[in-house]
Structure 1
Amino acid sequence: MNAPDTPRPASLREAIAHRFSLLDDKADDDEIDRSLRAGVELRGATPWILMFAIVIASVGLNTNSNAVIIGAMLVSPLMGPIVGLGYGLGIYDFPLVRRSLANLAIAAAISLLTSTLYFMLTPLDEAQSELLARTTPSLWDVLIALAGGLAGIIGQTRREKSNVLPGVAIATALMPPLCTAGYGLANGDWSVFGGAFYLFSINCVFIAFAAVIVIEFLRLPHRKFVDPRRERHVKRALLAVVLITGLPSIYLATRLVDNEVFKSRARDFVRREFKAARVHVLETRLAPASRQIEVTLIGPRLPAPAIGAIEARLAGAGLADARLSVHQAQAEDAKIDVGSLKADILADIVRNNQQALEEKDATIEKLKAQLGAQGEWAPQSGAVTLEFEAQYPQCGNVLVGRAIQPGNPGGAPLPFLSADCRRLPKAAEMARIGAWLKVRTGNPDARLVLSARRGALLRQSGVPAAPSAPPGR
């Protein structure tokens, strides 16, 4: 039998609606409610996880490591109170809103305290690019927070949970702004603190606003207001918060775009105008805020009329409000050219390489001398062993070598002779053997260590040892 055909939508509009429906795989209302309320709480292990995640993110920002920052954002539990805040506003559950705000404030305080302590203690106090990137929020951060919040709340309301939330945590980047704000507090830089905390506020507000939009669209059960005017006041207050948070970002985005356009035009202008002249641009400094273009030149000195002609072409390049400052060599230095500059640089490189080679040659010669001395010692130690065994046949296990003294690790190794004897020589004989060993090895610090085979105490370098105790019965 043929399987019955799947019913097809009657029109294109119904087909599109069916394809993009958010109601087909939506979880039960009670399951959504339990899940979102559970994420609001900040107790038990959650504060500890938050503190450790903040430390990880602070280290990543301090060392400019993207991988470490991403790992910290995956660990962070900050999304729960923010989504819970949006859910509470969407269903008009104001006790949930108050609880979410309280937990979010506690989480932010813990994060700021932890990151501030870290940046006060770390020896790395230079602001890296990852830190500075969190101090200038703009309209694009609003769009990222809104889109990320929409994706996150949609993922949390599905029957089949997906990996949406980790991606949202990375995209919206809740933790790095808090860590950057802690850096601003630790260093007393209030502009860094203000910019970073404003970015964190943008993320919180627009993620919560996205949750309100989706909750309203899914028509989840919410409380009814007895007074319709109060409901309108709540909606207007929410809209006012969103606008107040988002409007400054539009200005910041406009300024960011304007600065980038200025930098691009200024670089193209400098490259084009000074390319034809027989000079080389050593350095270009751009200050978008003051519309200043500062150029340092090397080579033949440009006359003032030539520089004036270049300045007159600023307006044609879209830089009418810009000011050009040109730094050149003084008249007595006008003969400096790139060739001589390159020659000086190459001479310095050759000189440094020559010095490094000489140091390496000295090290090699020192090692060769040590190896030569080691090679000479081997036959000498063998001859000393044979001579001692021939003179004192009662001694065995003869060992001749060189060792470093424990109290003098940087000193030269001292020769030594050790042996086990059936009976120890007398004190005078020990002194004679010690003197022979010093002469034979050519070292006045040579050591002699003799010991009895049956537990007698050892004697060193002719110094008499205490008499051996008789063996136990």
Structure 2
Amino acid sequence: MIVQLRLCVPAELSESVLKCCLEQNGAAETALHKGASVQPPGDVITVQIARESAEELIERLHSLNLPELGSISVSSPDLVLSTRADAAEASAPGESADSVIWDEVSRQTGEDSKLTWSYLAFLIIAAQLAAIGIVTDSTIAIVGAMVVGPEFGPLAALSVGLVERKWRLVRSSLLALGVGFPVAMAVTAAAAWLSVPLGLFPADALDQGSAVEFIYHPGPYSLIVAALAGAAGMLSMISHRSSALVGVFISVTTVPAAGYVAVALVLGEYSKAAGSAMQLALNLVGIVAAAAAVLVFYRLIGKRASSVRRPTAPTATARRFGATRRAR
């Protein structure tokens, strides 16, 4: 896979950045637009590069303080027809599906970790769907609640923050989880408290539902399933396979457990509420731990690939650029 880097470069940094781009293994095309940047004054450089090599180039650009002095934009063209691009992908180490652009992961999860009104609305709706499924013994409603729940975003962001030691990301994720779940559970409890006198469901509804017993009966498989879901979710984010996230949402019992706690407390089923709370805790811990383990693994193999990668000979374009600099 080819990605495109658009670099807004101050004039005094332009030659150093261009040199990094030309010498980077896996770079297919480099274009220099002199004076194209108005703010900050300088040049615009675009680079077509194999995704496997993009992270190494971005790290080199970070060492030049380009994000502070200019900017780096990364995009993925839908189609690139170029023999040069094919050769660049072939020369780049590893596979594009296994490559990670860490700034991209941090930015993506950072957006999902914020405590917003839409996040709260989705979580409240999901908890309400779960509560309806619980009191009506409807697995369809519970599965719907799992899909609607937005909690995987903050959980993934928490994993990224812990691995990369980005404590601001950790704090925002914990805030989204620490505020979102109690608010959703409180609204669900209030709705359940009003529903009983209205006759929407009987006071012994929790004694009649056999299809939802798994929610308040946590066990070893609760943690195992949560860990598998957390690993699959993080892999889907890294490899850009969003379709796998639907399976992740359906496999975890975070929102149903939160909904069950709220309903059980209203109906006085405190032992079942405790079991559901334990289910919720196991799922949260399992997802975060497994997602963090996936990130650590990819960091280790990324460092190993960088350590064994040998510098390649400069391309013809790079040699011409060097000759031009010497002539100056």
Question: TM-score band (shorter)?
Answer: 0.5 to 0.7
Matched, 1:171 2:244: no
* Fraction of identical pairs, as percent: 27
CA deviations over 1:413-439 (Å, ceiling 9, x no partner): xxxxxxxxxxxxxxxxxxxxxxxxxxx
SS in 2 for 1:195: helix
Matched, 1:190 2:263: no
Number of matched pairs: 202
Cα offset for 1:165? Answer: 1.3
CA deviations over 1:45-85 (Å, ceiling 9, x no partner): 22112212211121111111111111121111111111111
Structure 1 residue corresponding to 2:102, chosen from 29, 35, 59: 29
Cα offset for 1:148? Answer: 0.6
Matched, 1:181 2:261: yes
CA deviations over 1:393-452 (Å, ceiling 9, x no partner): xxxxxxxxxxxxxxxxxxxxxxxxxxxxxxxxxxxxxxxxxxxxxxxxxxxxxxxxxxxx
Matched, 1:59 2:128: no
Matched, 1:140 2:227: no
CA deviations over 1:324-376 (Å, ceiling 9, x no partner): xxxxxxxxxxxxxxxxxxxxxxxxxxxxxxxxxxxxxxxxxxxxxxxxxxxxx
Cα offset for 1:27? Answer: 4.3
Structure 2 residue corresponding to 1:80, chosen from 145, 153, 168: 153
For residue 295 of structure 1, what is the aligned residue in structure 2? none
Structure 1: state its 5+ residue gaps. Answer: 1-5, 7-17, 221-473
8 Å contact kept, 1:36–1:83: yes
| Rounded Cα–Cα distance in structure 2 between residues aligned with 1:29 and 1:56 | 35
Bigger Rg over Cα: 1
SS in 2 for 1:77: coil
SS in 2 for 1:219: helix
Cα offset for 1:131? Answer: 3.8
| Rounded Cα–Cα distance in structure 1 between residues aligned with 2:106 and 2:158 | 12
Cα offset for 1:188? Answer: 2.4
For residue 208 of structure 1, what is the aligned residue in structure 2? 288
Cα offset for 1:93? Answer: 1.6
SS in 2 for 1:103: helix
| Rounded Cα–Cα distance in structure 1 between residues aligned with 2:212 and 2:102 | 41
| Rounded Cα–Cα distance in structure 2 between residues aligned with 1:114 and 1:130 | 24
SS in 2 for 1:137: coil
SS in 1 for 2:150: coil
| Rounded Cα–Cα distance in structure 2 between residues aligned with 1:136 and 1:91 | 35
8 Å contact kept, 2:130–2:260: no
In the TM superposition, 1:326-337 aligns within 5 A as none
| Rounded Cα–Cα distance in structure 1 between residues aligned with 2:269 and 2:132 | 19
8 Å contact kept, 1:131–1:180: no
8 Å contact kept, 1:23–1:218: no
| Rounded Cα–Cα distance in structure 1 between residues aligned with 2:297 and 2:290 | 11
SS in 1 for 2:186: helix
Matched, 1:69 2:69: no
8 Å contact kept, 2:146–2:252: no
Structure 2 residue corresponding to 1:155, chosen from 236, 247, 250: 236
CA 24–46 in structure 1, closer or farther in 2 if over 3 Å, else same:
closer
For residue 180 of structure 2, what is the aligned residue in structure 1? 107
Supply the AA of the counterpart residue of 2:218: P
Structure 1 residue corresponding to 2:192, chosen from 119, 123, 142: 119
Instruction: With a CA cutoff of 8 Å and minimum separation of 6, indicate the structure with the bigger relative contact order.
Output: 2
| Rounded Cα–Cα distance in structure 2 between residues aligned with 1:180 and 1:37 | 29
- What RMSD over aligned residues (CA atoms) do the two structures have, in Å? 2.2
CA 166–22 in structure 1, closer or farther in 2 if over 3 Å, else same:
farther
Cα offset for 1:118? Answer: 2.4
Cα offset for 1:36? Answer: 1.0
Cα offset for 1:42? Answer: 2.1
Matched, 1:96 2:169: yes
8 Å contact kept, 2:261–2:277: yes
| Rounded Cα–Cα distance in structure 1 between residues aligned with 2:188 and 2:125 | 10
Supply the AA of the counterpart residue of 1:197: A
Supply the AA of the counterpart residue of 1:134: I
| Rounded Cα–Cα distance in structure 1 between residues aligned with 2:292 and 2:100 | 17
Cα offset for 1:44? Answer: 2.8
| Rounded Cα–Cα distance in structure 1 between residues aligned with 2:95 and 2:275 | 36
For residue 39 of structure 1, what is the aligned residue in structure 2? 112
8 Å contact kept, 2:216–2:272: yes
Structure 2: state its 5+ residue gaps. Answer: 1-85, 87-92, 301-328
8 Å contact kept, 1:69–1:176: yes
CA 24–168 in structure 1, closer or farther in 2 if over 3 Å, else same:
closer
Cα offset for 1:112? Answer: 1.2
Cα offset for 1:25? Answer: 4.0
8 Å contact kept, 1:87–1:208: no
| Rounded Cα–Cα distance in structure 2 between residues aligned with 1:22 and 1:164 | 19
In the TM superposition, 1:61-460 aligns within 5 A as 61-122=134-195, 123=199, 124=201, 125=203, 126-127=205-206, 128-158=209-239, 160-219=240-299
Supply the AA of the counterpart residue of 2:139: N
TM-score normalized with structure 1 length: 0.41
CA 24–78 in structure 1, closer or farther in 2 if over 3 Å, else same:
closer
TM-score normalized with structure 2 length: 0.58
